[in-house]
Amino acid sequence: MIIAHLARVCYPFHPFGGLEQHVYRLTQELARLGHTVHLFTQPPDPFYFQQEAVRWRGEVIHHYLPYQTIKLLRRNSIPDRLVNYPLFSLRLAREVRHFTPAPDVIHAHGLAAFGVAMQPLPGVPLVLNPHGMEEFKNVSRLKQGAYAPFRAMLRTAAQRSAAIIATDRALIPEVSRYLKAPDSKTRLIPNAVDLEEIDAKLASAKPVTQPADTRLILSVGRLEQNKGFDIGLQALSQISTAQAWRWVLVGEGSQREALESQAARLGLKERVYFAGKITDEELYGYYRRADIFLHPTLYEGSSLVTLEALACGIPVVASATGGIPDKVFETGEFENGRLASPGDATALATHLATLLEMETGKRHELGQNGRRLVQQRFSWEAAGKATVNLYKEFFLIK
């Protein structure tokens, strides 16, 4: 079938993130399954994109549309998103309407669906993947107010779509509550990771120099308020310094300076390392060396970084929010880590202390349980087939 994917961003053209990775992997997998996939997105950002580094496994056809209509606004600021994102979404819809041959289905990610919802293509169903719906979960009152138009746009897209994808069980009731859409529209298709690629990156990783008796705690993500790294620092300040441990944060963001100051105030300056933006070889060196993966996020979508850590065989301490409880289990066959309520620094500290004091063999067992979970439930092959079955189920496409 001919499938049109609409997205504001896509890795590796734009900054690395969960949605960007999802669009990249899913479109490749659908093409590998034999379908014609057209991806409509904004032009590659030269700061992030290196043409020679890209190897598409499937024949995904790319169409680039300008994002900023009003260029006086600072890129990715709240005013920029409020003005230019809706206009970009409508531009996507116009492009698809005039595209020939017409697609059999339009699969839109987040607010990219709004334009098609307002200007539908007759006879062509719209599938919406709202991802984490952070527009509804911001703890900042400023963003809560500013993003009110986005919430209305996403509700409109959901109500006018033929189907809605929830990437985690926790998102199913949120689709109903936030988007006012009937449960009959919603289908669970878990997000996924590429184990073959992860293993290749682990094999070529740059070794990390770290004393053997030092436990390495790793976090990966944007240094923004919603990721809860300030809560992580509070938790670590409650852990005994008698044991040798170090926390490495990989990523950049607006909160870096504040986090560095907080680490110094808490007396953790020598134990916390801000790695910034690093290469895959460096990142996977940390994945290979890490004893614990810490993800203290306040709210989350599917959490690809959690999946990647589990795929690398690292036990996880994380917040029980979004799709994380689908992946991190404290007991049972897939016991692979510990969960705390979002914002609960004391609970995080207790769990971190437990894993730090745990025998190496037991901690390794938890990591292997996580790896096995990813193998069984979170592959892109499974996600691609489930997505095609969704198209067929709703639209009788043969």
CATH code at position 289: 3.40.50.2000
Residues 144 and 30 in one domain: yes
Kindly tell me if the per-residue pLDDT of 54 is higher than 60.
no
Number of domain units in the chain: 2
Residues 373 and 384 in one domain: no
Residues 95 and 209 in one domain: no
**Model pLDDT, residue 398:** 44
pLDDT 10s digits, 119-153: 999 989 999 999 877 788 765 777 778 889 999 99
Residues 281 and 182 in one domain: no
- Can you give the residue range of the structural domain that contains 245? 195-377
How far apart (Å, rounded) are the C-alpha atoms in residues 45 and 50?
A: 9
pLDDT 10s digits, 106-116: 999 999 999 99
> What are φ and ψ of residue 298, in 5° steps?
-85, -35
What's the rounded mean pLDDT across residues 77-81?
A: 81
Query: Who contacts 243 (Cβ-Cβ below 8 Å, separation ≥6)?
Result: 215, 356, 357
**Model pLDDT, residue 156:** 96
268 in Cβ contact with 236 (< 8 Å)? yes
Residues 308 and 284 in one domain: yes
Residues 64 and 24 in one domain: yes
* Chain mean pLDDT for the chain: 90
What's the rounded mean pLDDT across residues 189-200?
A: 91
Residues 181 and 254 in one domain: no
What's the rounded mean pLDDT across residues 61-71?
A: 87
Residues 142 and 160 in one domain: yes
Residues 359 and 307 in one domain: yes
pLDDT 10s digits, 339-376: 999 999 999 999 999 999 999 999 999 999 999 999 98
| Out of 135-149, 179-193, 282-296, least confident range | 135-149
Residues 12 and 151 in one domain: yes
Amino acid at 370: G
**pLDDT-based confidence at residue 52 (cuts at 50, 70, 90):** very low
pLDDT 10s digits, 311-335: 999 999 999 998 899 999 999 999 9
Residues 221 and 273 in one domain: yes
Residues 334 and 361 in one domain: yes
